[in-house]
Structures are given as C-alpha cells and as structure tokens.
Amino acid sequence: MTAVRRSGRLLDGREIHYYGRDPLPSAGLPAADVGPWNPHRSELRWDPLAEEWVITAPHRRRRVAADGDAGCPLCPSRENAATEIPAAWYEVAVFENRFPALYGAWRGSPARSGSVLRTVEASGRCEVISYSSDHDTTPAQLPTDRLATVIGALADRTTELGSLDGVRYVFCFENHGAEIGATLSHPHGQIYAYPFVPPRIARMQAAARRASARGTGCLFCGVHREEAAGPRVVERGAHWTAFVPHAARWPYEVHVYPKRHVPDLAALDPAEREELAHVYSSVLRRLAGLEGGPLPYMALWIQAPVAEDRELFHLHLQVFTDRTGTGATKRLAAGELGAGAFVSEADPERVAAELRAVRP
C-alpha cells in the first residue's frame, strides 16, 4: 500500500507529519507542553581561511538526551506521559527540532565589508524523523516496508524543505549509537535544510564541474561503474549497487548507488525505492553482524543541491562506522582533524569480502 502523509501542529506551533499506511494516527493524545517555542537564533560565522561557514548554536547544549521509554521524547504519548509525538502509535513521524541549529527565513548574506569577521543569522530548518514507535528496535531490525516508508518520508521532506526560501541544500542523515554521538537511542534520523551548500558537498560539486568541463561526463557515474565491476562490491540488485569505496576512509564504509542517474531521493521511482529499502537493510544487517550486535554508524544521503548543478549530481548513500570489527575504535587525530588528511588502516577489498560473508 502506498505511504501517505498526515500533517498537524504541536502545542507550541511546530509542524509534525505522520507517514505510513492508512489509517494514520490521529490527534487523540496531548503532546508534551513545553511552553511557547522560542528557538534561539544561531549564527553563521565565516572562517576566511577555510572559506566556509561555521554554525554557532550554544543553546543546543540543552537538548534532550534520554534512554529508556520513560523519558524518551520520540516514544508515543500516553495519558500520563506526553512526549513530542501526540499519538498512541505511529509508523514514521517527522517534526521540527525543538533545539534547531538552523531556524528561520533567509535574510541574505552579510555585506562584504573590509572585515573578515562576518556573521549572519543561521536561517534554515532542522527536523527529526523517528523511524518507529518501538523504542527498543534498531534501524537494522526494521522490516523493509518500514524502511521504504522512511525513504518515502525523506523524499517528501527533501521536496518540501527544498522549496523554502533561501534553502540551498537538504541533508538527510542518521547518527546511530551513543558511541558515535547520538543523544537518543530511539531509532531516528535528522534532516537539515541549509542556507548554503555544506563544504564537503561543495568540494564534490566543484569536482563534478571540472569533470563536466573536461567532457568526461558524470563523475559519480564513473565512480559507480568502476566499483560495480570490481572486487569491492558487497551487493548488487536490479537498481542499486552497494560497495566499499576505492579510497575508503573508515574501517567499514559502504556506498550505495542507484544505477540510474538521479539527483535526489525525490527523483526515485517506486521500484527503485522498494529495492533501496532491501539493500539498505542488508547493509545495516551486515554491519551489525560483524561484532555480533549493532555497531554505531553514520548514514549520509548525498543529494544534489536544491537549485544548482543538479544534472551533475548522482544520489547515493554513505554508511560508515568507526569500529574496526575487533572491538577497537578508530579515533580521528591531528592528521585527520587538523590537516584533513585521512590515514586509513582498512583494506577495502578485504573489508568487502568480509561484509559479503556476513549473512544479512
């Protein structure tokens, strides 16, 4: 059954959207009454040496961190325990973050004066997407039809957020596991609508422009074709290929590419979305099987910018963990964080063979 959406507002005015099959949950329980929502304004501060924006949002230190359904804001509301989500159950829910790093309408770039210390309000939007009303599950344990609903919700939010004034990039991502920085153990992800193209994406954008100027076609398609024919493939489907990248930075890193050249999640057709849910589930299960249980990981959906160079971008998913598979952890040190030069101790071909050997 095709996933549908029902939208509403929380008591403090924030938007909430439910995704799933009919019938969707209706408002029957109160959301947590947190009082008027007056999000603090973050700032964009310009780093002239790196030529990139830094978001300063000190109010986010107050954001909720909880473990266990008694205090989890993503669990369903009960009569005696209201949470962020005013429903007794739900499949997938998306709502505005109460502690956003980006908030408000775009007011334009600061005037270019002689000063290098430029500051502007950090406009944009931050949303939380909860994958399930079940607190004690993980994304790897979700059925593929639920992951398909998650993907459909991300596609819908990509379109809607991309239409907001001043938004230049919509970034969907997931931090899973306290060890890697997740403040909530409930299965969830986040969506950031940036007023600029983030630095890492901008570097990909510049590389893709140079490849186009050389007449070599889509740089991402070239990477995909090379990997799909090599020993680093983890899984192949009719529409998607999952592989360990040639220049993997992390101990276990998998990229998932569609075979068709599409700019973002919203451009996928139903068959591609359905197979993506199966391949994504398989990748997460393979990672979870390395140490006999769920590994902390990050998942990043790399999409085209909202309104520029869309024809040059090729949607793909990047999933990686800092665990080595032996219980150890790769820590980023001065070379990676200070110089920006990764030193990888992984053997991509061996890692791909190890992942292929795990039964998903």
27-50 burial, b for 16+ CB within 10 Å, e for fewer? eebebbeeeeeebeebebebeeee
User: Residue 20 forms beta bridges with which residues?
Assistant: 4
The answer to whether residue 278 is catalytic is no
Q: Contact 94/16 with Cβ under 8 angstroms? A: yes
Which pairs from 227-231 meet CB under 8 Å and 24+ separation?
227/255, 227/257, 228/257, 228/259, 231/349, 231/352, 231/353
- Reading across the β-sheet that carries 297-302, which strands appear in turn? 4-9, 15-20, 92-96, 125-130, 188-194, 169-176, 297-302, 316-321, 252-258, 240-243, 233-236
Contacting residues for 210 by C-beta, under 8 A, at least 6 apart: none
Longest dimension (CA), the chain: 63
The whole-angstrom separation of Cα 213 and Cα 220 is: 14
DSSP 339: I
Integer CA distances (angstroms), 218 to 49, 208, 214, 249, 289, in order: 30, 7, 11, 22, 34
Backbone angles phi, psi at 122, to 5 degrees: -85, 80
The whole-angstrom separation of Cα 187 and Cα 298 is: 13
- 23 by DSSP, 3-state: which? coil
Backbone angles phi, psi at 293, to 5 degrees: -175, 170
Q: Contact 100/37 with Cβ under 8 angstroms? A: no
Give the residue among 209, 172, 206 at the shortest CA–CA distance from 191. Answer: 172
Residue from 188, 224, 255, 314 carrying the catalytic annotation: 188
Residues tagged active-site: 188
